[in-house]
Structure 1
Amino acid sequence: MSNYLETAHSVYKEAAENPQKGLCCTTTPVWQLPGLSIPQKMLEMNYGCGSTVNARDLVNQPTVLYVGIGGGMELLQFSYFSRKHQAVIGVDVVDEMITVCQENLIEAEKQNPWFRKEFIDIRKGSALSLPIEDNSIDVAAQNCLFNIFEEADLQLALKEMYRVLKPRGRLVLSDPTCEQAMPESLKQDARLRALCLSGALPLQQYIEMITAIGFGTVEIRAKRPYRILDPENYDTDTLLYIESVEVCAIKDPMPADGPCVFTGKTAIYYGKDEYFDDEKGHVLLPNQPLAVCDKTANALSTLERNDIFISPSTFFYDGGGCC
């Protein structure tokens, strides 16, 4: 095991034995769902920088994989949508975290009449070698885990997620990103990587690593302020601004002209005709915004027209797109 993974193991062993609210990440608002009661210890162990639980991903009681289980909060939230035997699989490498998670699920069963701990199958294993069959998962997720890995291991972890997903399956991710160059001394600081800080990549590089694995569609669902690394407290000459991003990567076939990446761009047609058809599958109705992927936005912007407006990326894509 590499030094940075050993450090991460140590950090989360301690976090399991002594829960630390907001240990590595800003504590984010938790889904409030009818009839769902989250035990206090689970809330205190909310070691994530965003959310990977989205109702539109969780129709028809999917089989869900969650890697890096923490206190079990997201396992419980996923179970809310998949109430069947071992429908939600949790994988973690830290024995102490597995033990505490199982204890938390027993408490969750007491607080939630609908919940059975048998809905969840917890397995010991690494994100780099998942104990999961090929093409068996509908929705896979990780929260504030992949930034711990250096590039080669991140590629391996992404390949593992791709391997276990069914065709059209979804990988939902939440990780820190940083558009500024991270000093090498911070990138090599194993503890800061474990605390979800210095492993942050620029968003475009993060997306390119995902699509390089083969995911044909990527949705940027949220991008929010996260942390500051300042010269007084960290080994940096400038303020480093870190954001958290929520992403969904879909195991669609890769289009011949490259992946469809949705970053919240919109096309608006304001011409005099009944509609505009680019004859590539995109029909724009007058003054009806249409979410478009970056590839389509670029193609529309090159047309010699003065009646189509392309909005900038909002980094909040909420479905209803062109592709």
Structure 2
Amino acid sequence: MTIETSVLERYSAGAHSVQTELCCPVDYDRSLLELLPQEIIAKDYGCGDPSRYVKAGDVVLDLGSGSGKICYMAAQLVGDGGKVIGVDMNDDMLALARKYQGEMAEKLGEDRVEFVKGQIQDLALDWAAVNAYLAEHPVKNAEDMLGLRAWQEHQRATAPLIKDNSVDLVVSNCVLNLVHDSDKAQLIREIFRVVKPGGRVAVSDIVSDETVPGHLKQDPQLWSGCISGALQEHEFLEAFIKAGFIAVSYDKWENQAWQVVEGIEFRAVTITAIKPAGNTCTDKGHAVIYRGPYSEVYDDEGHVYYRGQRMAVCERNYQLLTSDAYGDDFIGIAPAQEQAGIPWDCATGTLRAVAETKGGVHEDKCSPGGGCC
């Protein structure tokens, strides 16, 4: 039995009867569960609550949406201007999620949720369209296979399941570990592709404290049980950084291991990250002060921030460092008067002269020692 087959079969079974061994204890927002049918709640298998990161007006993409629980929770948070898309490859889970779509639309006042069939490591290919194509063009020989591949490439380019830069927030709940190791890097690149510049990621998953050995990875029961496909805890973060994300961090970390297999601890975590808002950096006179407690810190793009110093930053990084992604780590100082802006040309570690920022708007949530450059 292949890894993919074991996952499909186990979660098909989970759509028909509750599989308690697939569940991690999770403290969900009970107010968001009140509208949900009990069957959706009972047959959801997750290890975290990424719905907590949803904002009003968001377009949310849920990878491996399963019973639809996170989608229907998110639908209550996005409001009238938002939308939620659930992607899953399992027909039984899709049927379960869609079963209550009309009922939930009535409760919400509109249908804000859509469920589509696709592989999360290939978000451009619509598998409903693939099935329709195969019904009319069955693959009987090698030439047919080449034709199918050519058609798939055309579909990805002209009618992608999820378009480039179209999603405000990608969420997932204990699904990335189910993807084959050879596809995990592509999966995270696909997440990067579909997120809007400045968009966010909130992924709850299982990680291991040690690298999982090969003999455990070959166990279909452990893999489909969200164990042996887990990434090592540092590698999980690094995979998102390599894909181009910034502000990558563990926002949730369970102290108690969910399971221990051959001395390896497997625990539930939630990772958050941001896609950079473009590459254009404009100097408009902004500054940030890193509060501490460390003497200096570096971001994912190599910029250094000295504790207590007014650091010169471009407008893009100013918006990022004063956003929720960095909490209260930085004090933002906007220029007292709006400036036209010039192309950013300052070395990392450049201080902003006090004279340039005096009287500027403090937002609480360049040569060294001189002005910019």
TM range (shorter): 0.7 to 0.9
Quote the residue 2:260 is aligned against.
Answer: 229
Mapped pair 1:119 → 2:81 = no
Quote the residue 2:70 is aligned against.
Answer: 74
Quote the residue 1:306 is aligned against.
Answer: none
SS at 1:37 equivalent: coil
Quote the residue 1:283 is aligned against.
Answer: 289
Question: What whole-Å deviation, never above 9, does each CA across 1:272-323 have from its counterpart, x for those lacking one?
Answer: xxxxxxxx955356xx869x86659x97899xxxxxxxxxxxxxx8723339
Q: Which amino acid aligns with 2:202?
A: V
Report the TM-score when normalising by structure 2.
0.64
State the structure with bigger RCO (CA 8 A, min sep 6), 1 or 2.
Answer: 1
Mapped pair 1:184 → 2:214 = yes
Is the 2:174–2:206 Cα contact (8 Å) retained in structure 1?
Answer: yes
Q: Which amino acid aligns with 1:227?
A: W
Is the 2:58–2:82 Cα contact (8 Å) retained in structure 1?
Answer: no
Aligned partners of 1:216 and 1:184: how far apart in 2?
Answer: 31
Is the 1:71–1:104 Cα contact (8 Å) retained in structure 2?
Answer: no
Q: Which amino acid aligns with 1:240?
A: I
Aligned partners of 1:165 and 1:159: how far apart in 2?
Answer: 10
RMSD over equivalenced CA pairs, Å? 3.2
Aligned partners of 2:177 and 2:329: how far apart in 1?
Answer: 28
SS at 1:54 equivalent: helix
Report the TM-score when normalising by structure 1.
0.73
Mapped pair 1:164 → 2:194 = yes
Quote the residue 1:273 is aligned against.
Answer: none
Q: How far apart are residue 229 of structure 1 and its match?
A: 2.7
Mapped pair 1:7 → 2:21 = no
Quote the residue 1:240 is aligned against.
Answer: 264
Quote the residue 1:219 is aligned against.
Answer: 249
Is the 1:137–1:165 Cα contact (8 Å) retained in structure 2?
Answer: yes
Q: How far apart are residue 42 of structure 1 and its match?
A: 1.6
Q: Which structure has more helix as a fraction of its residues?
A: 2
Q: How far apart are residue 148 of structure 1 and its match?
A: 1.4
Aligned partners of 1:74 and 1:88: how far apart in 2?
Answer: 10
Aligned partners of 2:8 and 2:95: how far apart in 1?
Answer: 14
Is the 1:4–1:190 Cα contact (8 Å) retained in structure 2?
Answer: yes
SS at 2:30 equivalent: coil
Mapped pair 1:99 → 2:95 = yes
Quote the residue 1:24 is aligned against.
Answer: 22
- 5+ long unaligned stretches in structure 2: 124-160, 280-285, 308-324, 333-373
Is the 1:65–1:140 Cα contact (8 Å) retained in structure 2?
Answer: yes
Quote the residue 2:143 is aligned against.
Answer: none
CA spacing shift, 1:133–1:68, aligned 2, 3 Å = same
Aligned residues between the structures: 269
Question: What whole-Å deviation, never above 9, does each CA across 1:227-257 have from its counterpart, x for those lacking one?
Answer: 2234xxxxx3xx22211110111101699xx
CA spacing shift, 1:30–1:187, aligned 2, 3 Å = same
- 5+ long unaligned stretches in structure 1: 231-235, 256-279, 303-316
Q: Which amino acid aligns with 1:4?
A: I
Q: Which amino acid aligns with 1:129?
A: D
Quote the residue 1:83 is aligned against.
Answer: 79
Q: How far apart are residue 146 of structure 1 and its match?
A: 0.8
Aligned partners of 1:254 and 1:289: how far apart in 2?
Answer: 30
SS at 1:19 equivalent: coil
Structure number with bigger Rg: 2
Is the 2:62–2:84 Cα contact (8 Å) retained in structure 1?
Answer: yes
SS at 2:258 equivalent: strand
Q: Which moved more, 1:28-37 or 1:240-249?
A: 28-37
Q: Which amino acid aligns with 2:231?
A: L
Mapped pair 1:129 → 2:126 = no
